[in-house]
Amino acid sequence: MVGPNSFYGPIDPAPDAGYVDAPPRMGFFTDTSVCIGCKACEVACKEWNGVPDDGFNLLGMSYDNTGGLSANTWRHVAFIEQEAPSEASMDVLREAEATVSTQFLGMPSSTLPGSAGREDRDLRWLMMSNVCKHCTHAACLDVCPTGALFRTEFGTVVVQEDICNGCGYCIPACPYGVIDQREDDGRAWKCTLCYDRIGEGMTPACAQACPTQSIQYGELDELRDRAAKRVEVLHERGVPEAKLYGHDPADGVGGDGAFFLLLDEPEVYGLPPDPVVTTRDLPSMWKYAGVAALTMAAAAVVAFLGRRP
Amino acid sequence: MVPPAEFRSYYGRQVVKTPVWRHDIAAYLFTGGLAAGSALIAAGADLTGRPALRATGRITALAALGASGYFLVNDLGRPARFHHMLRVAKPTSPMSVGTWILSAFGAAAGVAAVAEAAPWLPRDGVVGLAARALPVAGRIGGLTAAATAPALATYTAVLLADTATPSWHEAYPRLPFVFAGSALASGGAAGLIGAPVAQAGPARTLAVAGAALELTATHGVEHRMGLLSEPFRQGKAGKLLRAARLLTAAGAAGALLGARSRVVSALAGAALLAGSVATRYGVFEAGKASAADPKYTVLPQRERLAARQDS
């Protein structure tokens, strides 16, 4: 059950949480190199889970009118328009286009549509479907004072909405800024990795809906192997900027249950470059607090010592 | 001056979420510390024959505890479910640990405060029995409250630091000392206001010692954490912490100089209390500001990555 790596370092989270004979750990691999920004994942998630709307805004952030993950957005598609770093990365986009049978009207460019050949495109468009990472070491779970947040047998992290009393502690604890409090409701909400679907052997709604298999669901070990191979293929094709994010069990959160293949630095997508679970430092924090507490007690004793009025 | 470093972000949006806690939590930081400091003073006064100081401490502790309970329940998203805090005792959650510290302290401080009513109760019958038992029960309660008081005063620092909020987390070695000093200063201040000069001596000592600790530790937070000290010096948080410094220093000076004057002592006490409120609100606002700007998340993490790659 509880072991030396229970707060930090590589572990298998379900057995560490006390499950006996847990099923294999399940998760997501989101390959952003084939994402076409269709937002089917956002819609499917909302439909299946009955998630309320998040405001019907026009944010002026390319095609992103959702903004970010929140209590009412459990899958969020990010759009970033940039100068293209390599021709091979454009090939990757063309491959993605080829998997969809509709006609592609062209990437944003600096010339009139159709007046220049595709070779002249000087922009690339990064698209990425963000989600709760279901961290191996989940800070939200560690700090929850009611036990509402718990680890499932699949290694995922879920909030029980009938127990959450809206204390709000999980919200600043998450190093990725995922979980949030729902206004008008008061409780904290986030992606459940479709616990109700995977418990029946089904695929989560977002993965089911994704038309390019950018979102892949399966056993985490197998997904990690697949992702490593995919990065190798991309590097061979001349896309050196392709990198995995959240795949490494030795990282600051023990690796993510939902990890990504990115085509730029994490902060470009709104992700932290080096997330660390806050619980790593908790033993040290209690020690400092202990010394401060002893200081208080000692001061009180000294102040009253041998001083009769 | 090192020029501001370049960093990239997603349309300038924040990476981590800003805490959703409202001003109730900043207020609780103060009332919890006041309760803890007062309880320590009340217990010391009880053991050294200072009845007026003891009464001041016990009643302040109970009143501050009641206010604390109100603020904590009021801030919940579902206040009616406040008792869900008692479902678990979870060492990885400072809020869970704090719930139990507060419960133990509250019960003990309650008994101690009720014991102050003993002289007014009739001496006959069942009530008379209770009246005669109260002083002893009060002493036990008061000592128990004092034993849990240091934990009550410092666990809130761990609570704030145990988040991904950049400036709070980085401050974890120093914040417990800020809160401990502030709690001592608050408790001492209550003693200076409520007790006659003849009995308030130890409260004076603790007020000055607490103020010194609070000022020293806060200075470290404001200047020794590199980029992450910036939110404590700028904006709303900066204004609050500068006011806190002024009030706390003035209060400490007044406490020292007012050793013979109840009026000066009381004014010093009021300044120390105001300074403590400003410190707590300032720390609270600084954390929120550090979450709202992505640079406080991205830049230190990039530096950490670069340092790892170099080594």
Looking at beta carbons, which residues of chain B come within 8 Å of A167?
75-77, 85, 95
pLDDT of B156 higher than 60:
yes
Largest CA distance in chain A: 95
CA distances in angstroms from B248 to B69, B175, B244, B279, listed in the order given: 26, 17, 6, 9
* Domain map (residue ranges) of chain B: 23-310
B23-310 placed in CATH 3.40.640.10: no
Query: Token digits for B264?
Result: 């000066």
Instruction: Using a CB–CB cutoff of 8 Å, tell me whether A16 touches chain B.
Output: no
Q: For residue A148, give its domain range.
A: 13-278
Look at residue A229 and tell me if it is in a domain.
yes
Q: What is the end-to-end Cα distance of chain A in Å, rounded? A: 56
- Closest by Cβ to A165, choosing from B84, B159, B184: B84
In this complex, the residue of B15, B78, B209 whose CB is nearest that of residue A186 is: B78
Residue A260 forms part of a structural domain: yes
Question: ∠ CA A277-A278-A279 to the nearest 5 degrees?
Answer: 90
Mean pLDDT of B265-281: 98
How far CA A10 is from CA of A133, A143, A282, in Å, comes to: 15, 20, 17
Instruction: Report d(CA A48, CA A46) in Å as an integer.
Output: 6
What count of other Cβ atoms lies within 10 Å of the Cβ of residue B270? 16
Q: Could you write out the three-class secondary structure of chain A?
A: CCCCCCCCCCCCHHHHCCCCCCCCCEEEEEEHHHCCCCCHHHHHHHHHHCCCCCCCCCCCECCECCCCCECCECEEEEEEEEECCCHHHHHHHHHHHHCCCCCCCCCCCCCCCCCCCHHHCCEEEEEEEEECCCECCCHHHHHCCCCCEEECCCCCEEECCCCCCCCCCHHHHCCCCCCEECCCCCCEECCCCCHHHHCCCCCCHHHHHCCCCCEEEEEHHHHHHHHHHHHHHHHHCCCCCCEEECCCCCCCCCCECEEEEECCCHHHHCCCCCCCCHHHHHHHHHHHHHHHHHHHHHHHHHHHCCCCC
Q: How confident is the model at residue B12 (pLDDT cuts 50, 70, 90)?
A: very high
Shortest CA gap A248–chain B (Å): 15
Whole-number Å distance between alpha carbons of B295 and B299: 5
Give CA–CA dist A133/A266, Å, rounded. Answer: 14
| DSSP secondary structure letter of residue B2 | P
Contacts of A117 (CB under 8 A, 6+ apart): none
Residue A56 lies in a domain: yes
Residue A69 resides in a domain: yes
Instruction: Provide the pLDDT for residue B72.
Output: 97
Contact A127, A248 (CB under 8 A): no
Contacts of B77 in chain A (CB under 8 A): 164-168, 181, 185-188
Helix axes B125-161, B51-75, angle to 10 degrees: 60
Say which CATH number the domain at A203 has.
3.30.70.20
Amino acid at B240: L
CB A258, CB A131: distance < 8 Å: yes
| DSSP single-letter state for residue B82 | G
Q: Where residue B218 falls among pLDDT bands split at 50, 70, 90?
A: very high
Residue A303, burial from CB neighbour count under 10 angstroms (0-12, 13-18, 19+): buried
- CA of residue A128 relative to chain centroid, distance: 11
Neighbours of B223 (CB within 10 A): 11
Are B95 and B121 spatial neighbours (Cβ–Cβ below 8 Å)? no
CB atoms within 10 A of CB A88: 17
Of A212, A233, A218, nearest to A29 (Cα)? A218
Does residue A85 sit at the B interface (CB-CB below 8 Å)? no
Question: What span, in angstroms and rounded, lies between the C-alpha atoms of B305 and A47?
Answer: 39
How many domains, in total, are found in chain A?
Answer: 1
**pLDDT of amino acid A122:** 72
- Say what the pLDDT of residue B127 is: 85
What whole-number distance in Å separates Cα of residue B17 and Cα of residue A180?
8
Contacts of residue A211, Cβ cutoff 8 Å, sequence gap at least 6? A36, A38, A40, A99, A100
**Residues paired with residue A130 on neighbouring β-strands, in sequence order:** A76
Q: Give the separation between CA A57 and CA A67, rounded to whole angstroms.
A: 9
Q: Residue B37: name the closest of B178, B201, B180 by CA.
A: B180
> How does residue B119 score in pLDDT terms, banded at 50, 70 and 90?
confident
Pairing type for strands A188-189 and A180-181 reads: antiparallel
Instruction: Mutation target for B interface from A296, A301, A305, A307: give the one with most B CBs within 10 A.
Output: A296
Cβ atoms of residues B20 and A189 within 8 Å: no
Q: Which ranges in B76-124 belong to alpha helices (H)?
A: 94-115
Chain B contacts in chain A segment 179-238 (CB below 8 A): 179-181, 185-188
Which residue would you say has higher pLDDT here, B119 or B223? B223
CA nearest neighbour of A95 among A31, A11, A174: A31
Q: pLDDT confidence of B6, banded at 50, 70, 90?
A: confident
Q: What share of chain B is helix, strand, coil (3-state, %, to 5)?
A: 80, 0, 20
Quote the CA–CA distance of A89 and A106 in Å, as a whole number: 15
Distance from CA of B127 to the nearest CA of A (A): 33
Residue A259 CA to residue A222 CA, distance in Å, equals: 12
Report the amino acid identity of residue B115: A
pTM of the model: 0.92
Q: How many CB atoms lie within 10 A of CB A107?
A: 17
**Contact check, Cβ <8 Å, B17/A172:** yes
What's the confidence (pLDDT) of residue B283? 98
Q: Which of B13, B19, B205 sits opposite A172 (nearest CB)?
A: B19
pLDDT value, residue A106 = 56
Which of A267, A41, A92 lies closest to B10 in space, CA to CA? A267
Task: Give domain status of residue A292, yes or no.
Answer: no
pLDDT at B155: 98
SS3 B8: coil
Give the chain A residue whose CA is nearest to the CA of B183.
A296
pLDDT along chain A (309 residues), means of 10: 85 94 97 97 98 92 95 97 67 63 56 53 88 98 98 98 97 98 96 98 98 98 98 95 96 97 97 97 98 97 78
Residue B292 CA neighbour count, 13 Å, CB half: 10
Q: Spell out which residues of chain B touch residue A179, defining contact as CB-CB under 8 Å.
A: 17
Task: Please compute the mean of the pLDDT values over residues B21-26 and round it to a whole number.
Answer: 98
Interface contact flag, A172 B198, Cβ < 8 Å: no
